[in-house]
Structure 1
């Protein structure tokens, strides 16, 4: 009993110290690195002196944690992001992983002078980005990027694990098997991994969504039902020879996008579980490593990490995204956010379990590469976005949201919004809210007083508004509360311009008003059609098209993907039409 209490004391203390240290993330320090650091300090080389080297337990904890993290990521991914990011993300998750692993493997073979199969194995281990690291840093950094970039990164990190796992297992089999290599066997394994993973995840996702809709439970149990369904899916698909990681991500995607009881309270519980999974996983992995051995391999590990960051990942990204017409700045940023985290470390445990010669060396190199990646890339995501000019004005968001029971097929939500200075509703009454959208303000929190708006009541900056509205209008409604001026270059009015145009406006009218030089074919197009033709890719908010001295910047899109509103500004920045003095 005393041993159990001691174990629980250490576990609670480590988790407590990890959480208390999270304020360091405000200075750009990755949270996952904090968890790793606490684990390393508690290990055999640190003041904690905990001697932990059970790779089987670490492998079990890592797989369980990754399943929870991917399930949470899938629940939060919206279907509309697939409109702009599915094909490029899948290209990165397949072609990109193979290219990155291949290039890194060749470099490792040359640098360390090892057998090319060992080089490719280590390249495959560090070749994929990590969902936990990418999800964590994108949320933690609070940098507003366009939907194409964020969706591509999130979908890639949620779907590239199967390819990495397949490569590692295949190369392990080549190294340890006495049977000759078979391309046919390779193709069958690849189809099984992706086919069973995708089919199982989608099918079980629909089944779980159906169950969640029809079963009556205490509110807090819906999250546990979804979590248990996710773990069953993960294990069952793995047992069938498919990719459980892909399956559990797709299950979360289906459940999170279908009308059921998986509402905001479920997301809150899942968020806590995902953070607990990340903290526990990185603490265990931190305990597993011996820092003194890492230091012995610091030079080759650093060179491998730098090659991966500055050569292999950018080359793989530019190759994978070549058919999708991404601007070079976006490709460069996606290359930079190729964070390595828990997945490579867990993959490096495979050779240890298989008793492969030199497996401990592969583990130490992988761990060091992850640390360099988190230190170099994880701390500079915000700076990279600013340097590349990829930040866009904040689209606005609710402070809190709850889905209301009833309403039939039309789902209603209770949302809390803060009236920001210079937003569209400041100084106006309830008539400033979207008309014809069934939006009702039921209360206003001003300071410490609750007020109930009536005729003539005007909203002030700092007010907190409680609104009831259809769920489908949540994103649209959020734009009414974002700050329109005063954020420097990211002020919406400065970023998009003072002139706002409808997407269905005819181009020949703009040609007349602004003395543009258009091709005959462009004169007959609408603004939406013109911008799409110039971009040659699905548009997102922030995309810009130049016409003479005018910049046309996409500001809002409809759910169908059609451009709804476009901002117009002039290159000189004076927002004056020709001849306006």
Structure 2
């Protein structure tokens, strides 16, 4: 019992230290997961002297923690975000992981003296981005970027783990048994199809089961989060037992259930957030305890070299190849390449060679640990500056907002929303609540007042309203503070605005001609932008049109373009390297060169802008 109390005491102190350190990380902008990992290192064998070498327990604990993180990632991903980013994100999560594994494997075989197969094993271990790190930096780090770019990163980080795990397990088996590349046959391809297929099927079925159970056992809201947690882990364990990818299944189950009407959904969301934080803290602390920094110096130079190769060569090339066919700009592909943070997943997978009996398994673990540290230090600390440098930070549509969504029982068609009236809200300057919103109660000075007797709303009032879900975004703008704009934001949307209903041929006559094809002659400017931006344009989307850049200034409540800005200033490309040019831009350049060769005028030749 005394040993138990000592272990419990040390464990709780470490978790508390990690939790309190997060306050400093928020204040100074430090990568929070790096802080958790550092506390584990400081408490380990080369720090305070805690000796921990249980690799099997760490792998099992880390797998459960990762399953919890992936379920919450899926649960908090709106289906809209998944739809607009699914194809490019899944391409990066599959083909991108394979490309990273191959490129990194070649470099590792030279820099560490590995065989090519061993190098590819290390490549598979570090090939996936860390969902926890990406979600934290994008959602909590205050980086306001285009929705398609953000969604692509989030969906990729949540779906690339199954591919990396499959490759790591398969390559570990080949290296450990000495089969080499001769062991690669159709068996592995069939195994991959089986794992991913079963993971997808059981994930959808598991999500349906979670929704069904929650909506039929509505007696106690306190039990709802427990039901969801245990059912999610049931999906994870059952899928793995049946030979499928439990990690893919739990992510899909989270996404399915998170986008359905469920009992006590707000309580479940808050519980998942807290549990995810705890899972990340424990996972990073234990992985930090497992490391032995005194073994790092002998590997530090090649490991840092490999980390730089991953950040500046392997990841960018893999991302570019994956996104070549999609309409991402040079700036966006550069940013997607840079936000390839490695974290707990890579360290967790680095345990697999040790468990599989691979020779020098500790080398894989130590090199991976150093690469993760370098990634969190360099990339984790520079995400926002890089986004600003590339011009991807978009002006906020609204300022701060204080809102709580409350659950209504059954299949209610309205939501109950509570807003706090904050400083600079349009309501304080005379704006009125629209008729389609039904205000019911105002809390003022700790007293409840019926809305019709409350008079004019004041700063600090808490207002409760019933509203149909499609109109919640409009209420957000009404109750929000004034958006704080930087000096550069005023020029972000161009010199002047045009109506999206104007004929596209007028735009072609002004800035062409010859920039639109015959099929686009009858389109409006808004329809032209939607078509060239993948079928659906969004706020702040940009499209090059000859010598100008068209920018979506405003969207209406139905998702249609309401106003388009025209920028006459050239937008410089992110880099002169051709690897960051998408297929459409390559076609444009080939066409321009052919025109120039034939002596014909090149539309928009006076500007070298790149949207």
Distance change in 2, residues 1:489/1:230 (3 Å): farther
CA contact (8 A) 1:419 1:425 kept: no
1:212 aligns with 2:214: yes
Match of 2:405 among 393, 402, 407: 402
Aligned-residue offset at 1:533: 3.4
CA contact (8 A) 2:441 2:448 kept: no
- CA displacement, residues 229-283 of structure 1 (integer Å, 9 cap, x when unaligned): 1101111111111111110000000100011115222111110000000000000
Distance in 2 (alpha carbons) for counterparts of 1:508 and 1:176: 62
Distance change in 2, residues 1:551/1:329 (3 Å): closer
Distance in 2 (alpha carbons) for counterparts of 1:63 and 1:526: 51
Distance change in 2, residues 1:412/1:349 (3 Å): same
Matches within 5 A, 1:431-580: 433=433, 435=434, 437-440=436-439, 442-443=441-442, 454=452, 457-458=455-456, 465-484=463-482, 486-489=484-487, 495-496=492-493, 503=500, 505-507=501-503, 524-536=522-534, 538-545=536-543, 552-557=550-555, 562-568=559-565, 571=568
Moved more, 63-72 or 481-490: 481-490
What is the TM-score of this pair, normalised by structure 2?
0.85
1:43 aligns with 2:44: yes
Structure 2 counterpart of 1:202: 204
Counterpart secondary structure, 2:418: strand
Distance change in 2, residues 1:268/1:315 (3 Å): same
Counterpart secondary structure, 1:220: helix
What is the TM-score of this pair, normalised by structure 1?
0.89
Distance in 2 (alpha carbons) for counterparts of 1:476 and 1:276: 35
* Aligned length, in residue pairs: 563
Counterpart secondary structure, 2:140: helix
Distance change in 2, residues 1:40/1:222 (3 Å): same
Aligned-residue offset at 1:485: 5.4
Aligned-residue offset at 1:464: 5.4
Distance in 1 (alpha carbons) for counterparts of 2:78 and 2:460: 30
Distance in 2 (alpha carbons) for counterparts of 1:270 and 1:261: 15
Distance in 1 (alpha carbons) for counterparts of 2:556 and 2:295: 55
Counterpart secondary structure, 1:401: strand
Aligned-residue offset at 1:221: 1.7
Structure 2 counterpart of 1:166: 166
1:97 aligns with 2:128: no
Structure 1 counterpart of 2:375: 373
Distance in 2 (alpha carbons) for counterparts of 1:109 and 1:168: 16
Match of 2:419 among 408, 412, 416: 416
Structure 1 counterpart of 2:244: 242
Aligned-residue offset at 1:510: 7.4
Structure 2 counterpart of 1:34: 35
Structure 2 counterpart of 1:577: none
- CA displacement, residues 493-539 of structure 1 (integer Å, 9 cap, x when unaligned): 65446977775x23379769x96767685563233312123435642
RMSD, aligned α-carbons: 2.9
Unaligned segments of structure 2, at least 5 residues: 571-611
1:357 aligns with 2:353: no
Aligned-residue offset at 1:425: 3.8
Counterpart secondary structure, 1:145: coil
Moved more, 313-322 or 24-33: 24-33
CA contact (8 A) 1:429 1:458 kept: no
Structure 1 counterpart of 2:55: 55
Matches within 5 A, 1:149-188: 149-177=149-177, 180-188=182-190
Distance in 2 (alpha carbons) for counterparts of 1:439 and 1:386: 40
Structure 1 counterpart of 2:299: 297
Structure 1 counterpart of 2:69: 69
Distance change in 2, residues 1:559/1:183 (3 Å): farther
Structure 1 counterpart of 2:78: 78
Structure 1 counterpart of 2:114: 114
Distance in 1 (alpha carbons) for counterparts of 2:409 and 2:527: 40
Counterpart secondary structure, 1:565: strand
